[in-house]
A and B are shown apart, each in its own frame.
Chain A
Amino acid sequence: MRSMPHALLWEMFAGGWWSLTGMTLMSCLIPMLVHAEMMKLQVDASDPAMVLLQLAFIPLVIIQAAIGVLIAQRRTSRLYAMPISTHAIVAWHTFAGAAVLALLVAIVSWLLNALFGANWPIGSTVLFSIAVWSSMQLLASVSTQQSLPGLCFAGTPLLLLFVWLPSRYGAYSPPPTHYWSGVTAGEFVFLATITIFCLVVTNYSTRWARCGERLPVIGLWNWIVAKRDAMASRVEVRPRFSSASAAQFWSEWRQKGLILPGTFFVVLSIGFLAGVQRWVQSNFQLAEVYEGVFAFGSFQLMLAAIAGFVLAMDFNSEAAGQRETQLGDSLDGSNYEVMGSFQASRPVETREFAFVLLRVAGVSIAITWLMWFAAACGCLGLMWLSNQLPSNYLAVKQPWGYLAIMVVGPWTLMANAATLGLIAIRHKRLAYVAVATVVCYLVAAAVLHDSNVPKPIQTLVHSVVIGLIALAVTLVSVWSFWQAYRSRFLSLRAVATAVLVTAVVFAIGIGVQPAELTVVEFLVLIGFAVLTVSPVASLPILIAANRHR
């Protein structure tokens, strides 16, 4: 390599092309899924719903692609011992990353426009992504100092950008009215100011980190922590755990238990505020607040899936992952993060580990659901006091189906996301390939949609694919149960209970959807029913594979 920028770019592409490709594919997965559905419904690009979708997806696409670039770039600290000035380290990390991210975002926007007739403005999105990248660099730089106030300070520009973005779509007089197609001089100056500010602060932060110093704001934080610890020393330590399982549950819960309830609380608060805004606009009709709170309950599904992936992680696995790489244990060439040796060497049966994780998921979901229920009941109480009780208490078109999905859905998503997370952690490339397959399928579907192939044949193709996936899910789940039983992770009684639960969920599904089922719908319903119990079998198998590699 003749120069540092060459070396950094080479390193980013040579060592991180999997994360760049994988995260970019992941970033366009959900927009593609939704746009494919919108295309089926023949929604026009000028429809306000499409504007709203773009507003929701732009942060998602940029952040996921930016995470891919961050992973590919690796930590800045590896360059601290090299004869390079801090300015150069920061500048080249920021500029090279910004260029790659801008390119990725432009490609994703172009793909969505070309395949699904979306109206994604490329210029403004790319400029916005550069400002987001700069603020993410700042956040990544300060995060190495592991300080909450430092992170709050460093996260402010990013937050500001995402609060500012909806205003470009006219979203503060809901609903959003137009696309952000042209960049004005004022907008350019705003984005440039944020970018430069973040660059300057990142430079300071990196300089401090390079010399082993800490940001001044952290001194104050350390003082608060010292005071808190002094107070904590007077409080007696918690009583002994009744069992190893109880101790493990405490450990898992303290790390991951509050992720779902915590994030749902934030989302519910936003739903409440949105409801209040509509309440003011609608002549103080409390039904607006109630509907806002009720509708935001569906976010439980998305948040449960994310929390499930987090549930699969062992936060102390990094060192173990590095260790395995030193040993040359790179089954598929990726530096996967495995169960840390401390966790893996606890004298606990593997099935206990799995049941503890499922218990954490169950309790998290129960708390989240109760939070939602309490908020809805609170609104109903207010409506009762003001004599505004609604005629439809459940505030949706298919109330019982919605409630059934809200009960079973978060569990199914969270537990299965944990299962998928365990596979993805061990085989990152397999996860990327899976996502790439889905994206390819969506691209093929879009091409098919615009082709001359008759609609009934198109429907048949999609039905066959979906039916096959449902069948595969069912067969893999049955195999998991057989393996779990053979490996003594599950007793015969547990297997019988799982079969019974599957039958009950299937019966509820039939009850909620009383119309006559097609073969594909039948297979999908069975697949869904099986998914509610399959993590009971698949989790211990995957944990064992991770624990005893």
Chain B
Amino acid sequence: MPEPFPSAAPPIVEIDRLTRQFGNKTAIDDLSLTIPRGGVFGLIGGNGAGKTTLLRHILGLLKAQTGSVRVFGLDPVACPVGVLGRIGYLSEDRNLPNWMRVRELIRYTEAFYPAWDSKYAEELREAFDLDPLARVKNLSRGQRARAGLLVALAHRPDLLVLDEPSSGLDPVVRRDILGAIIRTIGEEGRTVLFSSHLLDEVERVADRVAIIHKGQILLNAAVDEIKESHRRVTLRFDQLQERPPQLIGALTQEGSGCEWTYICNGESEQVRRAAQALGATVVYDSALSLDEIFVTRVSQ
């Protein structure tokens, strides 16, 4: 039986006060994050937010300058075999050996993973419609993504790390195949960590989401929890207001005169009580999409 999400088991990834600088630029800034075992964890952020840098630390491809990274309880830099042997990784740049044929790529990758499932690899190859004789350099961007996904999945990893997995995939593959794979792995009790800036996709497949911005985690919670705790409310005041009155939990506000619209962090009842305290009535109250929450949080 797969464990319920979030799992009571020890977390699969523990990052503590990680900082990474590239020259003068701080890519990760004193970031702490725990990723529970099991389920689908979405990492969302804009371009240059630090998603790829964070994932590369988890894989041990970048060494922590300060702070620590633990994956399966191990340091990925000190124990690359112990960590990488249990991870399937699809990089954003789809970095694969260009000179190999698809079947050579499969045979080559197989040698690194004792748990490699040849039958499953063949099923995936057929599902992804990959010609075994095609050279990797001749594959289209979408085909490269599929080939990368195949070699990341076929050893049935405990942790699947996907960096912008949708990039280059057509909508059908993205929705049907990728979505199905991510869900299946999540339901099998294994963990999927994926980064994306396609928020509808994250909303569809992720159980838990972390928003990363300028190298810091702004929000880290279950998707439903995030959606329930963010609301758009429109308040009507008895008198004209030159400035928006300060509503507890308000993240943004806009409007004029007697009607002001707020985006708030808090549950519906809390917001209603806060509005009453200001002497206003709630004339409109709605939940926000993940996309709206992200934009609000990031643009603060």
Contacts and interface: CB of A to CB of B under 8 A. Distances in A.
Interface of A: 146, 229, 232-233, 237-238, 240-244, 246-247, 250-251, 254-255, 315-316, 319-320, 322-324, 326-331, 340-350, 547-549
Given A251-B97, A327-B53, A330-B22, 15 more contacts: A146-B137, A233-B133, A240-B107, A240-B111, A241-B110, A243-B111, A244-B111, A247-B110, A255-B99, A320-B93, A326-B48, A327-B27, A341-B59, A347-B81, A347-B83
Interface string B63-99: 1000000000000010011011101010111111111
Interface of B: 22-23, 25, 27, 48, 52-53, 56, 59-63, 77, 80-81, 83-85, 87, 89, 91-100, 103-104, 107-108, 110-113, 132-133, 137, 148
A332 to B, nearest CB: 9
Give the 6 A-B residue pairs with the shortest CB-CB distance, closest first: A247-B111, A347-B84, A241-B111, A347-B85, A319-B93, A328-B22
Given A344-B61, A347-B80, A549-B61, A320 B111 contact: no
A165 B116 CA distance: 57
A407 B184 CA distance: 57
Contacts of B77: 548
B25 A250 contact: no
Given A347-B85, A548-B60, A246 B111 contact: yes
Nearest to B134: A229
Contacts of B98: 315-316
A348 B132 CA distance: 25
Contacts of A232: 133
A229 B107 contact: no
Contacts of A251: 97, 100, 108
A350 B80 contact: yes
A256 B95 CA distance: 19
A481 to B, nearest CB: 20
B113 to A, nearest CB: 7
Nearest to B25: A328
Contact of A345 (B59, B99, B137): B59
A327 B92 contact: no
A250 B81 contact: no
A238 B106 CA distance: 11
B81 A548 contact: no
Nearest to A317: B95
A341 B93 contact: yes
16 contacts: A146-B137, A237-B107, A240-B111, A241-B111, A247-B112, A255-B99, A315-B97, A315-B98, A319-B93, A322-B93, A327-B48, A329-B23, A331-B23, A347-B81, A548-B61, A549-B62
A250 B97 CA distance: 13
B62 A341 contact: no
Nearest to A332: B23
Contacts of B62: 548-549
B83 to A, nearest CB: 8
Contacts of B52: 323, 327
Given A237-B103, A247-B111, A328 B23 contact: yes
A22 B110 CA distance: 42
B252 to A, nearest CB: 30
B112 A347 contact: yes
Contacts of A328: 22-23, 25, 27
Given A323-B52, A327-B22, A342 B96 contact: yes
A324 B95 CA distance: 13
Contacts of A240: 107, 110-111
A349 B80 CA distance: 6
B279 to A, nearest CB: 50
Contacts of B96: 316, 342
B23 A330 contact: yes
Among B22, B95, B107, B132, chain A packs the most CB atoms within 10 A around the CB of: B95
A320 B95 contact: yes
Nearest to B96: A342
Nearest to A340: B95
Nearest to B59: A345
Given A229-B133, A327-B27, A340-B95, A345 B84 contact: yes
Contact of B56 (A146, A341, A347): A341
Contacts of B95: 316, 319-320, 340-343
B61 A345 contact: yes
A331 B108 CA distance: 33
Nearest to B94: A319
A229 B110 CA distance: 23
A340 B62 CA distance: 12
Nearest to A239: B107
A320 B97 CA distance: 12
Contact of A254 (B59, B91, B99, B133): B99
Contact of B81 (A238, A341, A349): A349
A323 B95 CA distance: 11
Given A232-B133, A327-B52, A548 B63 contact: yes
